[in-house]
Amino acid sequence: MSDRFTGNFTQQEAIPEEGIEAALAVLRHGRLHRYNLAEGELGEAALLEQDFAALTGARYCLAVASGGYALGAALRALGVGPGEPVLTNAFTLAPVPGAIAALGARPVFVETTEELTIDLDDLAEKAGEARVLMLSHMRGHIADMDRLTEVCREAGLILVEDCAHTMGARWNGVPSGRHGVIGCYSTQTYKHANSGEGGLLITDDEGLAARMILLSGSYMLYERHLAAPGPEAFENLRYEVPNISGRMDNLRAAILRPQLSRLEARAADWLERYRALEAGLWGAPGITLPHRPEAEAFVGSSFQFLALDWPEDRLAELVSRAGARGVELKWFGAETPRGFTSRYDHWHYAAPLPLRRTDRVLKGLMDLRLPLTFTVEDCQLIARILHEEIAALAP
């Protein structure tokens, strides 16, 4: 048991050379602001929107400053306001309830299953409590979207998808983000396309698209968008929709555009690494691995396992022992937030009610990143280390 992993869990791949060259071209001409264009120039931000709309099959796309901004813009476009309840997963990251709370609205959390997806039975029970569901495909786990959309239809729930972890994923062949009225994506460094920070929104709804473009700070320059409604969609809205500036700039868009064409190949590479880690942990005592249904074409950029009902001290020791051998585990059961990891009962601004099933899941949930700078052999080594430490500590 002397093996030690020496890789870096936060080191991402280099930006493609085409992205570097495109970024240098933007730096050289100096027109970073998305509406600062030369005669006949379309602009990298507008071209990125056009590219991503084509990739997802959406009518409209908007590039913004961050994934969190995208979530907030979606809710504002839907008219969510102070005091309004908004349903969302209990298992998610802080920007999701944060986007709800930033509007003065109230997150209402839905239970989580052992498959790490939203509990559709609990959703059906709570569906009458709100008009909007902000569904987080947390850590790339996709719920049964056929049943979920049926629950939404029956209850009259408006579905907004947080696809920060599912860019490039599909359910029964439908791209993640295309089941709801709005799909929101992140291009933060640890996501599936990397611009440091950034976000994308897609929709087929002309009015919502126009509202989000105005919200992002288009001023009266919305005609410079390529994946947008015609000017008639803005005619009356421009007098009533506030400017809450959150535009993506041409520099980040230039970095992102070449990455979109590589998304399918990158997803295949992630899946290979995910399956290597999964194979190495099958049969490890005392843990369970989430089931990935055949309908779910997921992007395995992170990995999770459950050590359900383990004593807290053994869970903490597993994190410590794995860390001593170079494997960085994130534990959702810790009493206080750490780094990027927090859970629904840490967000006191949301005044959450206890969720018994979710509490059990999160207490035993272990999570780790799988950057593409890892090889398949790296993932096999990580699995061996974890298997050994789990076997040594399993109750």
pLDDT per position as a tens digit, 5-61:
999 999 999 999 999 999 999 999 999 999 999 999 999 999 999 999 999 999 999
**pLDDT score, position 1:** 58
Q: Which residue has the higher pLDDT, 75 or 337?
A: 75
Place of tokens 């990580």: 382
| Interval 113-135: pLDDT, tens | 999 999 999 999 999 999 999 99
Neighbours of 155 (CB within 10 A): 17
Q: Pairing mode, if any, of strands 132-136 and 158-162?
A: parallel
**339: confidence class by pLDDT, cuts 50, 70, 90:** confident
* pLDDT over 90 percentage in the chain: 96
- Which residues, 6 or more positions from 236, have their beta carbon under 8 angstroms from its beta carbon? none
**pLDDT score, position 338:** 85
Q: Which two tokens stand for residue 204?
A: 């087929």
| Interval 218-240: pLDDT, tens | 999 999 999 999 999 999 999 99
**Phi and psi (nearest 5°) for 233?**
-70, -20
User: Residue 326 and residue 311: Cα distance in Å, rounded?
Assistant: 23
Q: How far is CA 199 from CA 45, 67, 166, 223, 266, in A?
A: 11, 4, 13, 20, 19
User: How many residues does the structure list for the chain?
Assistant: 395
Q: Are 197 and 65 in contact (CB under 8 A)?
A: yes
Quote the strand ranges of the chain, DSSP E.
60-64, 85-89, 106-110, 132-136, 158-162, 170-171, 174-175, 182-186, 199-203, 296-297, 302-306, 330-331, 365-369
**pLDDT score, position 214:** 98
The H or E element spanning position 256 is: helix 250-260
Q: Are 109 and 89 in contact (CB under 8 A)?
A: yes
Question: Per-residue b/e over 61-70, b at no fewer than 16 CB within 10 Å?
Answer: bbbbbbbbbb
Q: Are 116 and 139 in contact (CB under 8 A)?
A: yes
User: Residue 364 and residue 116: Cα distance in Å, rounded?
Assistant: 12
Q: Are 70 and 64 in contact (CB under 8 A)?
A: yes
Mean of the pLDDT values across residues 72-82?
A: 98
Neighbours of 174 (CB within 10 A): 17
**pLDDT score, position 209:** 98
**pLDDT score, position 337:** 87
**pLDDT score, position 156:** 97
**263: confidence class by pLDDT, cuts 50, 70, 90:** very high
- Which residues, 6 or more positions from 17, have their beta carbon under 8 angstroms from its beta carbon? none
**pLDDT score, position 287:** 98
**pLDDT score, position 2:** 78
The H or E element spanning position 319 is: helix 312-324
SS3 140: helix
Mean of the pLDDT values across residues 205-228?
A: 97
Mean of the pLDDT values across residues 248-260?
A: 98
* pLDDT over 70 percentage in the chain: 100
**pLDDT score, position 288:** 97
Domains of the chain: 17-260 (3.40.640.10), 263-393 (3.90.1150.10)
The DSSP letter of residue 365 is E
Taking all residues of the chain, what is their mean pLDDT, rounded to a whole number?
97
User: Residue 185 and residue 198: Cα distance in Å, rounded?
Assistant: 8
Place of tokens 């802080």: 94
Q: Which two tokens stand for residue 105?
A: 């609205």
Q: Which of 47-51, 343-347, 364-368 has the lowest mean pLDDT?
A: 343-347
Residue 94 has pLDDT above 90, yes or no: yes
